[in-house]
């Protein structure tokens, strides 16, 4: 009888290590009767104790929270303070303009960041099925969420497993656990205990929530529900995994903080100097506001967002769907790719590779029907009677189905592979069954590790058998020969076992096939068999992966396989794709803990096998702690925590689970590993473009700061007014900067090693160029002011000349943003059609306002005369000419270094 749970539910505890306990001990620990199942009152008490069989979801960030997040940050606070001061002193136009800038930035950021965190919801969906349970001696259909520990669940082929179960009954049962463990073929299940230390993928006495039964039937007692299941532990790992901020986000945040502190320091200095000179408080504060507006590149967040979005659109056209904008740039900084095996490096489809018969061994081509590979394979098999007989037996002894065209299949992946191999050789199961009708089937039994089918064959019956090599060879007494068959002695049997072992060493899954003829259908199927041969199968490497991995190595990116599959299989695939040599070291998951404290040791390993979700997550964290920018690829539930933790999680779109896709920052729509290489190239191009337009914006804004600061320090009237500066920063700076972000990049960008992840967005070389270029623009502006005074222009006309000189000088300055090794007329800037279009647009936006009364009044501009225009053009072009002369001089120098703009 069961334990009285209802009276004292806290006394019931889930058994530890149920996979290692005999069935009676598990049932006793859970207080479950052998046959009847739980009573309804026991179910209610246990549900109160353990809760529903559901995976809790993390609450998604609300739209309001995301909106408020857009107004957080030092730059926003500084501009907000400037707007407040403007309103306080009655400068409504200036205050409103600053607030408009903040509103535009917030709207763009809100639109791009608004998305739900769907990873945990997808995990919940995996368990949302109905289940057949035995309660009070009756079989009932209940919601999977209503299951409690101790329930007896009944399962057949095709059923989803609704909770973690300890099997109490199993008949020829196998389960697909690829999404949880990475195992590429179904796992045979039985009721016998396994050692307590057995790893998750080898616990044959258990079924796990979120997996599915592929063959056979059975029953299991629920030993864990909800977050206590293995799937629930993956959920908890996903909750604990912190996606964090991207390298670009951290660099922009650091740059913004630096700008804010520099601006505050300058503003205080200007205010102190102004007050010391006896200037009015209002004029001093107006100068400080102008300085604050000039120092902050208001267009930077807009251009950065649009540049990343443009990169996202480009990648989408190359089958890479970006979920987070910052992931575009992060790819360019990637230093190591931790990649799953099944479905990522391989096709996730079992394929027959070798046929071994007494006449020799044949490597099977797997080309599409009608292809040269298919025709050659069919011709070779047609000329090899023994190989053809081997495939004939494998196709007959089969439970899977394949349509007549060979496209759509269902059943066990290994049996489907046998049908496909037969189809390629012209042996269709439907045709074979028409010749030899099926009269009896002996289903695969985990105890015998064999399967047999009996067919009519002339006046007798043909028995076709397949199974594990050691099991089949143990019951064979003869082996086929060129003419009939010959005896199989112990020496020959040992040679066949050794042959099977050699195939296994190369990562192949090996089956043996045998047959016999008998007079009736009822004879013992596994006695007196004739060995036909061995079949080696594998989940083959994708054909395009080796070149992609070579491209990664050429780009200085390390590729590491991290899989839940067996070490032998992992090593074979690694060799096929170029990840390891003949003696490539494989570290199994249980040994990972000892390596985590030694980052140098981790760098020497390219293959990790039998790795659990927690160990994958630990590997990602260890690499990140060592300073790596980590890209993690995967397609299964077991990959989700590591995908979320990685700097850039990459999921497979075709074969990937919903959990993996929702946890990742990028989804490969074609499941092609080479698409990652294309995305990495695009990421490097994006970073180079961002560095260019950031340098451009900062040099432009620095010139504005220098102009305002020099005017205050020398007692001159302000050559630029706050609203004019805002107009420059928001309108005329944004379009050239965005055009610079549209650059296509250089042809050899993937031949360079990854940049140091600690390298700032704007380094020492870039700052030197920014200061020099800002000083040149400042000098040109004051030169224009001097000419304006010489022309005896009034204050408004003088401000108009200086404003347009600086504006056009900044516009021409965009053509300085190219590699100095390229010439003036043929470089990235002059080939950029977007930059020419932006220049034309900005020319209109600058030239028209002085002649439109409302705009002229708002910006305090005056119409220009001929001498005024001549001054503007001459002074604004001077910095461009000087910069190009300097770059040409540097280009002609030997051993020239890279451009600071790069």
Summarised one tens digit per residue, pLDDT across range 202-230 is 899 999 988 888 888 889 999 999 888 88
Mean pLDDT for the stretch of residues 121-131:
50
Spatial CA neighbour of 228 closest among 18, 24, 40: 18
Residue with tokens 């502006």: 781
**pLDDT averaged over the chain?**
81
State pLDDT tens for residues 737-753. Answer: 888 888 887 767 888 88
d(CA 469, CA 529): 13
Distance CA 614, CA 598 (A): 18
pLDDT score at 506? 83
Residue range 707-733: average pLDDT? 77
Answer whether residue 252 shows pLDDT above 80. Answer: no
Alpha-carbon distance 254 to 760, whole Å? 9
The candidate with the shortest Cα–Cα distance to 188, out of 410, 450, 546, is 450
Pull the structure tokens for residue 111.
């639109």
pLDDT of 283: 63
462 band by pLDDT with thresholds 50, 70 and 90:
very high
State the Cα–Cα distance between residues 134 and 32, nearest whole angstrom.
Answer: 11
* Predicted pLDDT at 345: 85
**Identified catalytic residue from 151, 340, 412, 539:** 340
Name which of 288, 293, 296 is nearest 709 in CA terms. Answer: 288
Among residues 257, 258, 280, 260, which one has the least CA distance to residue 268? 260
What span, in angstroms and rounded, lies between the C-alpha atoms of 455 and 442?
A: 12
Closest CA to 381 of 406, 402, 363, 403: 363
- Predicted confidence band at 352 (pLDDT cuts at 50, 70, 90)? very high
Q: Can you give the pLDDT at residue 347?
A: 81
Across 320-324, 636-640, 699-703, 730-734, the highest mean pLDDT is recorded for 699-703
Q: How confident is the model at residue 298 (pLDDT cuts 50, 70, 90)?
A: low
The pLDDT tens digits of the residues spanning 227-246 come to: 888 888 876 766 555 555 55
Torsion of CA 238, 240, 241, 246, to 10 degrees: 130
Winning range, highest mean pLDDT, from 622-626, 721-725, 826-830: 622-626
Task: Assign 899 a pLDDT band (cuts: 50, 70, 90).
Answer: very low
Confidence at 787, pLDDT banded by 50, 70, 90: very high
Give which of 355, 347, 342 is closest to 569, Cα–Cα: 342
Give the whole-number percent of the chain exceeding pLDDT 90. Answer: 31
Q: Kindly state the average pLDDT of the residues 170-180.
A: 82
CB 740 within 8 Å of CB 695: no
What does DSSP assign to residue 155? E
Neighbours of 620 (CB within 10 A): 26
How high is the pLDDT of residue 117? 35
Q: Residue 549 pLDDT > 50, yes or no? A: yes
At residue 483 the predicted structure's pLDDT band, cuts being 50, 70 and 90, is confident
pLDDT at 96 over 60: yes
* Interval 559-579: pLDDT, tens: 999 988 888 888 888 988 998
CB neighbours (10 Å) of residue 435?
A: 11
pLDDT for res 418: 94
Which of 62-66, 328-332, 830-834 shows the lowest per-residue confidence on average (mean pLDDT)? 62-66
Q: Stretch 667-693: mean pLDDT, rounded?
A: 85
pLDDT band at 304; cut points 50, 70, 90:
confident
Q: Is residue 31 predicted with pLDDT exceeding 80?
A: yes
- Examine the residue annotation and report whether 40 is marked as an active-site residue of this protein: no
List own/partner pairs for 474-477 with CB under 8 A and 24 or more apart.
475/450, 475/514, 475/526, 475/527, 475/528, 475/529, 476/514, 476/529, 476/530, 476/531, 477/528, 477/529, 477/530
Q: Do 638 and 180 meet the contact criterion of CB atoms below 8 Å apart?
A: yes
**In the numeric block, which tokens belong to residue 876?**
């604004």
pLDDT above 80: residue 259? no
pLDDT at 368: 44
Does residue 449 register a pLDDT over 60?
yes
- From residue 618, alpha-carbon distances to 458, 637, 642 in Å are 62, 16, 8
């Amino acid at each position: 009888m069961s334990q009285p749970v209802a009276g004292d539910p806290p006394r019931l505890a889930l058994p530890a290590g149920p996979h290692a306990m005999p069935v009676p001990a598990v049932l006793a620990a859970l207080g479950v009767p052998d046959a009847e199942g739980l009573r309804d009152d026991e179910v209610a008490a246990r549900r109160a104790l353990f809760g529903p069989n559901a995976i809790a979801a993390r609450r998604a960030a609300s739209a309001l929270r995301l909106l408020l997040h857009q107004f957080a940050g030092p730059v926003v606070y500084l501009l907000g303070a400037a707007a407040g001061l403007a309103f306080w002193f009655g400068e409504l136009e200036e205050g409103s303009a600053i607030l408009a800038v903040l509103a535009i930035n917030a709207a763009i950021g809100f639109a791009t960041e608004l998305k739900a965190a769907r990873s945990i919801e997808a995990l919940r969906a995996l368990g949302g099925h109905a289940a057949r349970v035995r309660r009070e001696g009756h079989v009932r259909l209940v919601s999977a969420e209503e299951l409690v520990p101790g329930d007896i669940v009944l399962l057949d082929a095709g059923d989803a497993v609704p909770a973690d179960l300890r099997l109490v009954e199993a008949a020829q049962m196998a389960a697909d656990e690829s999404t949880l463990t990475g195992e590429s073929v179904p796992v045979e299940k039985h009721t016998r205990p396994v050692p307590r230390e057995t790893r998750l993928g080898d616990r044959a006495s258990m079924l796990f929530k979120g997996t599915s039964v592929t063959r056979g039937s059975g029953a299991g007692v629920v030993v864990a529900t909800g977050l206590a299941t293995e799937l629930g532990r993956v959920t908890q790992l996903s909750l604990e995994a912190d996606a964090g901020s991207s390298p670009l986000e951290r660099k922009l945040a650091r740059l913004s903080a630096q700008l804010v502190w520099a601006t505050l320091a300058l503003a205080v200095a200007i205010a102190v100097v102004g007050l010391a000179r006896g200037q009015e408080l209002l004029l001093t504060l107006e100068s400080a506001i102008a300085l604050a507006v000039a120092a902050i590149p208001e267009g930077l967040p807009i251009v950065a967002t649009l540049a990343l979005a443009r990169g996202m659109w480009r990648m989408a056209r190359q089958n890479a769907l970006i979920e987070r904008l910052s992931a575009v740039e992060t790819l360019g900084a990637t230093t190591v790719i931790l990649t799953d095996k099944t479905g990522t490096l391989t096709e996730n489809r079992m394929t027959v590779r070798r046929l071994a018969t007494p006449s020799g061994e044949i490597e099977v081509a797997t080309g599409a029907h009608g292809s040269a590979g298919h025709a050659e394979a069919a011709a070779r098999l047609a000329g090899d009677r023994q190989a053809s007989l081997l495939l004939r037996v494998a196709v007959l002894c089969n439970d899977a189905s394949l349509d007549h065209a060979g496209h759509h299949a269902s059943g066990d992946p290994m049996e489907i592979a046998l049908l496909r191999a037969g189809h390629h050789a012209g042996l269709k199961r439907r045709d074979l069954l028409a010749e030899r009708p099926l009269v009896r089937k002996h289903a695969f039994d985990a105890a015998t590790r064999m399967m047999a089918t009996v067919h009519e064959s002339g006046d007798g019956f043909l028995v076709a058998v397949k199974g594990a090599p050691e099991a089949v060879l143990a019951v064979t007494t003869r082996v086929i020969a060129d003419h009939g068959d010959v005896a199989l002695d112990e020496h020959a049997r040992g040679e066949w076992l050794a042959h099977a072992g050699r195939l296994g060493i190369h990562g192949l899954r090996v089956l043996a096939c045998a047959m016999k003829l008998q007079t009736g259908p009822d004879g013992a199927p596994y006695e007196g068999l004739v060995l036909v041969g061995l079949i080696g199968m594998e989940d083959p490497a994708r054909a395009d992966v080796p070149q992609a991995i070579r491209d990664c190595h050429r780009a200085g990116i390390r590729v590491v396989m991290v899989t839940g599959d067996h070490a032998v299989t992992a090593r074979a695939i690694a060799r096929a794709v170029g990840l390891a040599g003949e003696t490539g070291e494989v570290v199994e998951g249980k040994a990972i803990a000892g390596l985590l404290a030694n980052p140098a040791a981790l760098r020497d390993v390219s293959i990790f096998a039998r790795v659990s979700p927690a160990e994958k997550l630990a590997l990602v964290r260890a690499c990140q702690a060592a300073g790596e920018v980590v890209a993690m690829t995967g397609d299964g539930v077991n990959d989700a925590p590591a995908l979320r933790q990685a700097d850039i999680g990459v999921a497979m779109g075709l074969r990937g689970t919903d959990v993996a896709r929702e946890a990742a920052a990028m989804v490969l729509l074609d499941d092609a590993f080479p698409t990652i290489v294309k995305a990495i190239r695009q990421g490097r191009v994006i970073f180079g473009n961002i560095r260019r337009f950031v340098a451009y914006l900062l040099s432009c804004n620095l010139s504005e700061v220098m102009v305002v600061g020099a005017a205050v320090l020398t007692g001159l009237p302000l050559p630029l007014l706050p609203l004019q500066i805002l107009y420059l920063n928001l309108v005329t700076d944004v379009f050239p900067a965005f055009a610079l972000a549209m650059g296509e990049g250089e042809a050899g960008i993937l031949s360079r090693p990854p940049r140091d992840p600690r390298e700032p967005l704007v380094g020492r070389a870039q700052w030197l160029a920014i200061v020099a270029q800002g000083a040149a623009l400042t000098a040109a502006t004051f030169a224009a002011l001097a000419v304006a005074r010489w022309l005896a222009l009034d204050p408004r006309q003088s401000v108009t000349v200086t404003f347009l000189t600086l504006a056009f000088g900044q516009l021409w300055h965009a053509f300085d943003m190219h590699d100095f090794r390229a010439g003036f007329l043929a470089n990235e800037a002059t080939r950029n059609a977007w930059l020419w279009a932006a220049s034309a647009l900005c020319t209109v936006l600058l030239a028209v306002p002085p002649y439109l009364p409302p705009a002229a009044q708002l910006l305090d501009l005056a119409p220009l005369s001929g001498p005024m225009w001549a001054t503007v053009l001459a002074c604004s072009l001077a910095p461009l000419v000087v910069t190009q002369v300097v770059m040409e001089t540097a280009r002609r120098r030997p051993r020239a270094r890279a451009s600071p703009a790069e």
